[in-house]
Amino acid sequence: MSASGTAAAGQVEHMLRQVTPGRYDAYEALLAALADPAHGRLWMLLWHGTPGSPDAQYGDVRIDGFGYAPCVTSDRELAGSGWTRAHEVVTGVDIARTLFPERWGLWLNPHASGGGVGIPWTDLRRIATGLDRMPAGPLRLSEPSLEIPHFYALLTQNAHRTPAVRSLRRAWVQPALGAPYLAIGLDLYDTAGPSVDAARAMMQQSIAAVPEGLPVSTVAMSDEYDPVAMWLRARARPFYDREAHGAGAGGGGYGYPAPGSAADHR
């Protein structure tokens, strides 16, 4: 292996060894190593075909109904796995971009003692789009219990004056790491630039009514891959609707394997 290959394997494998149940900080460090364009490399196991061939197909691991593509983290681990079919070496960012749109995760070193570590597609999306752009999962989501009627009233009033807005939903989001925050789901009639700009202006006009110190974020309801938007669509009714009004509903996490499952190694 080249010196660069050794460095790539070393960083990812070092972080991988730190991951144990409940160590969300170590798991985030592993994601950061995989997202590193210089060092985040993986050896993907091909069940069919050869690298670059039209019939190339990754392996298939199913855990609790979620699909994962198995891989190893170095030439040494490849040799130790006993894998005799073809493989290809890819960056963590590239494989994340390939897998997450199909809602497939990664399974690192499934041959290792303890069965390796599974990374759900929701976290592959974070690797593909930027770890700092989305909260660290698994997420705990529920209906907000905050008493902030002035903010909701002002936001509803401004939404009614913004024709681009169809409805608004809300959720209280508790990331695995970081401070909890209030998420506002924006359901727009279209996602063209003027509509997005109008919705952004609506939020800016309303945010002054938010109590000091309360973090507020927005999520596009049209985003079919965002776990907060997924939960809002499935579990929360709009608190503002241009046609009708309703109350939200509470619930648990969404988009991740259930805590304690075989795939929950974080």
- What 214-218 contacts at long range (C-beta under 8 Å, 24+ apart), as own/partner pairs, is 214/146, 214/148, 214/181, 214/182, 215/179, 215/180, 215/181, 215/182, 216/181, 216/182, 216/183, 216/184, 217/173, 217/181, 217/182, 217/183, 217/184, 218/183, 218/184, 218/185, 218/186
* Band of residue 73 on the pLDDT scale cut at 50, 70, 90: very high
Residues 73-78: what's their mean pLDDT?
Answer: 95
pLDDT at 38: 82
Full set of structural domains in the chain with CATH: 3-133 (no CATH), 140-241 (3.30.70)
pLDDT at 263 over 70: no
Model confidence over 9-21: pLDDT tens digits?
588 999 999 999 9
**How far apart are the C-alpha atoms of 18 and 27, rounded to whole Å?**
8
Q: Which of 5-9, 10-14, 21-25, 199-203 has the lowest mean pLDDT?
A: 5-9
- Whether pLDDT at 258 is above 70: no
User: Per-residue pLDDT tens for 147-174?
Assistant: 999 999 999 999 999 999 999 999 999 9
Whole-number percent of the chain with pLDDT over 70: 88
pLDDT tens for residues 90-132? 999 999 999 999 999 999 999 998 899 999 999 999 999 999 9
For residue 253, pLDDT beyond 80: no
> Euclidean distance between the first and final Cα of the chain, in Å?
30
pLDDT digits (tens, 9 = 90+) for 27-69: 999 999 999 988 889 999 999 999 988 888 999 999 888 999 9
Residue 9: its pLDDT value, please? Answer: 55
Residue 7, burial from CB neighbour count under 10 angstroms (0-12, 13-18, 19+): middle
pLDDT value of residue 244? 73
Query: To the nearest whole number, what is the mean pLDDT of the chain?
Result: 89
State the Cα–Cα distance between residues 187 and 164, nearest whole angstrom.
9
The pLDDT-based confidence of 264 (bands split at 50, 70, 90) is: very low
The pLDDT assigned to 3 comes to 42
